[in-house]
Amino acid sequence: MDKMPKWADVILIPLISVLLALVVSGLVVAIIGESPWQAMQVMVRGAFGSAYGWGYTLYYATNFIFTGLAVAVAFHARLFNIGGEGQAAIGGLGVAIILLNVAWPHWTVALVAAIVFSAAFGAAWAAVPAYLQAKRGSHIVITTIMFNYIASALLVYLLVNVLRVEGSMAPESARFSEAVHLPAAADFAGFLGFGGSAPLNFTFFIALLACVGVWLLIWRTRLGYEIRSFGHSETAAVYAGINPVKITMITMLISGGLAGMMAINVVMGEAERLVLDFVEGAGFVGIAVALMGRSHPVGVVLAALLFGALYQGGAELQFEMPAISREMVVVIQALVILFTGALDNMVRMPMQAFFLSLRRRREAQAQNSPAE
């Protein structure tokens, strides 16, 4: 018998974890002499109180959906892809290369090309650590982290020396042509009140599509079946004739591809050029998103929304309550990651005990003999 109902595992535990994180955050805010209640209000209002707030929250959420899915897919094969940061950066490089070098007639065609190139570049960046893991047993956690630094350095070099517009002081590429600008929220959802300044763009729908795709892949296809089998037991996978090298490679390519696609949202959808450090930690937030979302696409969307709100609400908080510095906002975000990811068992154990005692009491009342 499972220890507790599924709804408790999927909804109740993350909810309690977030509440605990907020309580501790509130304490921290109180310690520096501000009102936690007021800070809370500012954050919620900032994230969800206006079309402008929503525009930012969903924009951030789009990033986190991609990086969260990337980590989630790898998790299913019990691979810990910490390289989302680097894979997304290189994915951005792919987007910039294809958008700058071809005269695209329309944004739809360009979007398809951007998807292909961002995914291919991200996958290629994941391929080397994947190969080293599959063939040499080099731990993927170590190699993907190292590849983040290499990606970062590579991008600095390219933006400063190769892609920088002549005469410009900024380490960024040329702007993409008008034709490839993605529709912003104001264009397709202006009736909801989205203005021109919110960065939410068409990529949001690509992210949702990716969720459907990942769900189909993991739970409906043979490949997903093999990935999950391999993730649960490598010896069993070998017994069933599943090639561990192949599954490790394919899973990491898909994971890297998803992380790379995050660049579409920022590079093509928002900045409309390749800028330095555009990933801004989304690759790492993806780990928390996947953990909190239980590696399920629906969970990933919900967790991405939460972290999007934290990002946007945190920015508002900084703006409206100057005593709460940027570092303070990072502390709050970190507390959420800590409670939902690392301290998961702290909430889980008491909840399991609670549900067990509940069931035992029910069974005692029903006077049933124990299950075999």
Partner 1 sequence: MTTSAPAIELKGISKSFGPVQANKDISMSVARGTIHGIVGENGAGKSTLMSILYGFYKADRGEIWINGKLTPIPDSQSAIRAGIGMVHQHFKLVENFTVVENVILGAEDGAMLRPSIAKARKLLTELSEEYGLKVDPDAVIEDLSVGHQQRVEILKQLYRHADILILDEPTGVLTPAEADQLFRILERLKAEGKTIILITHKLREIMEITDTVSVMRRGEMTNTVKTAETSPPELAEMMVGRKVLLQVDKTPATPSDVVLSVEDLRVSRGGVERVKGISFQIRRGEILGIAGVAGNGQTELLEVLGGMIAASGGRVTLFGDPIDITGKHANGQTRRARGIGHVPEDRQTEGLIMPFEAWENVAFGYHKDARFNSGPLMDHAAMKADCVDKMARYDVRPPNPRLPARNFSGGNQQKIVVAREMDRAPELLLIGQPTRGVDIGAIEFIHKQIIALRDQGKAILLVSVELDEIMGLSDRIAVMFDGHIMGERLPDQTDQNELGLMMAGVTETEGAA
Q: Which stretch binds partner 1 (CB under 8 A): 64-72, 84-92, 224-232, 338-346?
A: 224-232
- Which single residue is written with the structure tokens 């739970």? 219
Q: Cβ of residue 350: shortest distance to partner 1, in angstroms?
A: 15
* Residue type at 191 in one-letter notation: F
Q: Which stretch binds partner 1 (CB under 8 A): 5-13, 19-27, 233-241, 286-294?
A: 233-241
| Number of neighbours of residue 195 by Cβ within 10 angstroms | 13
| Cα of 345 vs its chain's centroid, Å | 22
Binding residues for partner 1, how many (CB under 8 A)?
28
* Interaction between residue 228 and partner 1 (CB under 8 A): yes
Tokens for 326, please give them: 């940027």
Question: Residue 245: which H helix or E strand, with range?
Answer: helix 244-263
Asked whether 214 and 69 are in contact (CB, 8 A), the reply is yes
Q: Cβ of residue 366: shortest distance to partner 1, in angstroms?
A: 11
Tokens for 25, please give them: 């955050």
**Which 3-state string (H, E, C) describes 248-311?**
HHHHHHHHHHHHHHHHHHHHHHHHCCCECCCCCCHHHHHHHHHHHCCCCHHHHHHHHHHHHHHH
Q: What whole-number distance in Å separates Cα of residue 238 and Cα of residue 229?
A: 10
Member of 108, 233, 325, 345 binding partner 1 (CB under 8 A): 233
Tokens for 250, please give them: 């394919």
Q: Which is nearer to partner 1, 181 or 228 (CB)?
A: 228
Q: Cβ of residue 74: shortest distance to partner 1, in angstroms?
A: 17
Q: Which is nearer to partner 1, 13 or 128 (CB)?
A: 13
* Interaction between residue 367 and partner 1 (CB under 8 A): no
* Interaction between residue 209 and partner 1 (CB under 8 A): no
Angle 86-89-91 from CA coordinates, rounded to 5°: 110
* Interaction between residue 78 and partner 1 (CB under 8 A): no
Q: Which residues have C-beta within 8 Å of that of residue 158, sequence separation ≥ 6?
A: 93
- Which single residue is written with the structure tokens 């892809």? 81
Q: Which is nearer to partner 1, 181 or 359 (CB)?
A: 359
Member of 103, 162, 169, 371 binding partner 1 (CB under 8 A): 371
* Interaction between residue 325 and partner 1 (CB under 8 A): no
Q: Cβ of residue 198: shortest distance to partner 1, in angstroms?
A: 37
Residue ranges binding partner 1 (CB under 8 A):
1-3, 216, 220-222, 225-226, 228-229, 232-233, 235-236, 238-243, 356, 359-360, 363, 370-372
